[in-house]
Chain A
Amino acid sequence: MRFIFKTSYAQDLRLFRDDFQRNWYLLLLVGLLALPSVVPDYLIDISLVFIYGLCGLSLMVLAGYTGLVSLGHAAFLGIGAYAHVFLYQDLGLPWLLAMVLAAAITAGVGIVVGLPALRMTGIYLTIATLAFALIIQEVLTHWEFVTNGLKGKAVNKPDIFGLTIDSDLGFYFLCLIFLAGGLWLTRNLLRMPTGRAWVAIRDSEIAAQSMGVNLALYKTMAFAYSAALMGIAGALFAHQIRFLAPDIFTVLLSIQFLLMVVVGGLGSLHGAIFGAIFVAMLPVMISEARDAVPLWFGAAFSLFGKDAGDAVFLAVDRFVKQPGLEPGIFGLILVLFILFEPLGIYGRWMKIKTYFSLFPLYKRATFKRQKSYMKSERLR
């Protein structure tokens, strides 16, 4: 196992753990730059993964690092998307300015939502953000001057300083730049005092407060930063789907974002990206499985005769083609992850890595969760 013996605080604060790690990330970046020449057909889908990555990043800062769980992030995405499209198309502002303003507007809304949140903890905050998201969805439906209501709004191609991005390739790189920038910014924030204050608030509000962390300030900052990231993601999202309608930004989308951070692994930036890849790929995998699974069952049961195989094929086919199946699978995955791998994909990855680096000496108990009696939050 590579163990780094730290001799100064500066080492603790470095962007990458060591040169070895930095080189791996450089390699990843080169790989992503080269990816379009390998899979030229799926670029628009991969850019959705990047946008989801930004969303995951945003929610990770709030839920994973500051401990404020929001069920209203789809609303921030919607505000960002509509604000950007309104400023860019209806008011004719330059693309980049429109995006910056959209991020600022979303951050402003984030602060407004965050302010009452200072008085709430835990579940109350989740409920409040949920209510906020439902209200925003109604606003998006009825404020027709900006949003064009239920009729929807078509989105033009981005035009940056006279350079029109009309190919999937260009959009891929645009999203990649924003995701890489967002990751870099977030990583830097997290190793600054700001990030440390956020983590302190997550771990214990009371302890953080007694160490001199200004709870109100840092919680509001977390909300504003998270909302701003979501606003940028929303602007890109608008260009990715090319048509905005209020019923895109539902509670279900918020739940998908939460699914992303939980499945990816709470409290790690890797987790946000893993989760984004997972959530973006899941519908594709489900639709592939819908075609494949009946064939497998049919093949397996045709050992008992052709009629049995055909009958089973038809039954399974009918079962998996039912429309309500997909959200159920989402729910099932969520439940399984919470029960069996609360640290998510990243946690599993860490466990596997630790297993190999400690090879014969790995103990399961290393990552065992402590069980405790229920601690009441209603102490009087």
Chain B
Amino acid sequence: MLNGLAVGCIYGLVALGFVLIYKATELVNFAQGDLMMLGAFVCYMFVVWYDISYWAAFALAIAIVSLFGALLDAAILRRVIGQPQFAVVMLTIGLGAMFRSFASMAWGSEIYTLPTPFSAQQTMLGAVSVSHEYVSIIVGTVVLCGALYAFFTHTKMGVAMQAASQNQLAAYYMGIPVKLVFSLIWAISAGVATIAGVLLAPVSLIDVNLGFIGLKAFAAAVLGGFGSIPGALAGGLTIGLIELFAGAYLPQGFKDVAAYVVLLLVLAVRPQGMFGAIGRKKV
């Protein structure tokens, strides 16, 4: 149960990254999972190669990948805003392939484990042993969500971001630096991906294909309604639990596809998801 919740939290965090970018810029970032992979690798590199303490490495990784996300927006993605969505999908798929290729060249295609302060520690809660890695994921997610919520509702920049995502042109008129805001959104989203990657690293080892979790996070984002931040988390948790139960009660092979079956069902029956709001397109 805890296992499913923790994995669900990771899906939720990656989905949160999709949703943040989608809400603000209407771009769908197929490279989100690969950003997560990059984040995990950067943290691994600092911890194991340069022997920095876990927390410092964590912070450094977030900073570096966030900066990278902002640069990515400024250099590449800003050029395709306003073009057909198809172009953006292809662009981010291409970028994801480049990240994977880069990671396998920079860090090799072996599988690594990230040593953390929580590794292999357990607490007995009644009759159940609770491993600290899973607890760290859940606590991390809750803290991060609280921080993001506070940021979006109580800071000037957060409100500006909401404004820019609702109406780009009107936000320009109100004097909001929309370009900067978009870069910042990308930075936040890349940072969230890094946090997800580093939290996930002790549970599922780090390798180049870590980013394929991004595909399941899609299911989470769609289930929650693509434009909704609480929806992304709720969707992530649901997908995590569904996977857990599918693995336990259904024949072998169903665990991996359960998320996608749910995704197809949701799209067929209720495309707006649990919390989403998609209006009919107006002329």
Asked if B59 is at the interface of the complex by the 8 Å CB criterion, the answer is no
CB-based contact A127/B167 at 8 Å: no
CB-based contact A378/B278 at 8 Å: yes
A residues near B81, Cβ cutoff 8 Å: 374
Among listed B63-71, B141-149, B186-194, B263-271, interface-contacting one = B263-271
Interface residues of B in 202-223 (CB under 8 A from A): 208, 215, 218-219, 222
Among listed B1-9, B49-57, B131-139, B253-261, interface-contacting one = B253-261
Asked if A138 is at the interface of the complex by the 8 Å CB criterion, the answer is yes
Among listed A10-18, A223-231, A325-333, interface-contacting one = A325-333
A255 to B90, CA, bound (A): 8
Asked if A315 is at the interface of the complex by the 8 Å CB criterion, the answer is no
- Identify which of B82, B98, B267 contacts A127 (C-beta below 8 A): B267
Asked if A131 is at the interface of the complex by the 8 Å CB criterion, the answer is yes
Asked if A282 is at the interface of the complex by the 8 Å CB criterion, the answer is no
Per the CB 8 Å criterion, the residue count for chain A at the interface is: 59
Given known A-B contacts A324-B100, A374-B25, A378-B279, A339 and B268 have beta carbons under 8 A apart? no
Asked if A350 is at the interface of the complex by the 8 Å CB criterion, the answer is no
B residues near A63, Cβ cutoff 8 Å: 86
Among listed B40-48, B101-109, B150-158, interface-contacting one = B101-109
B214 to chain A, nearest CB (A): 11
Given known A-B contacts A327-B100, A339-B79, A379 and B90 have beta carbons under 8 A apart? no
Among listed A24-32, A44-52, A93-101, A114-122, interface-contacting one = A114-122
Asked if B94 is at the interface of the complex by the 8 Å CB criterion, the answer is yes
Q: Could you mark each residue 168-201 of chain B with 1 if its beta carbon is under 8 Å from any beta carbon of chain A, else 0?
A: 1100000000000000000000000000000000
Per the CB 8 Å criterion, the residue count for chain B at the interface is: 54
Query: Which of A126, A132, A331, A335 has most chain B Cβ within 10 Å?
Result: A331
A369 to B100, CA, bound (A): 31
A residues near B215, Cβ cutoff 8 Å: 130, 134, 251
B194 to chain A, nearest CB (A): 21
CB-based contact A377/B26 at 8 Å: yes
CB-based contact A325/B281 at 8 Å: no
Given known A-B contacts A128-B264, A206-B283, A334 and B26 have beta carbons under 8 A apart? no
Given known A-B contacts A127-B222, A331-B97, A374 and B168 have beta carbons under 8 A apart? yes
Asked if A164 is at the interface of the complex by the 8 Å CB criterion, the answer is no
CB-based contact B261/A135 at 8 Å: yes
A374 to B78, CA, bound (A): 11
B38 to chain A, nearest CB (A): 13
B101 to chain A, nearest CB (A): 2
CB-based contact B91/A338 at 8 Å: yes
Nearest B residue to A119 via CB reads: B271
A369 to B263, CA, bound (A): 36
Asked if A123 is at the interface of the complex by the 8 Å CB criterion, the answer is yes
Q: Can you give 5 A-B contacts (C-beta < 8 A)?
A: A122-B85, A126-B86, A338-B90, A342-B83, A378-B278
Known pairs A334-B93, A374-B82, A378-B26; list 6 more (Cβ under 8 Å). Answer: A116-B264, A121-B281, A134-B215, A334-B91, A372-B82, A378-B227
* 3 cross-chain pairs, A with B, having the tightest CB-CB distances, nearest first: A328-B101, A324-B104, A331-B97
Q: Could you list which residues of chain B lie within 8 angstroms of chain A, going by C-beta atoms? A: 25-26, 28, 76, 79-83, 85-87, 89-91, 93-98, 100-105, 109, 167-169, 208, 215, 218-219, 222, 226-227, 253, 256-257, 260-261, 263-264, 267-268, 271, 277-279, 281-283
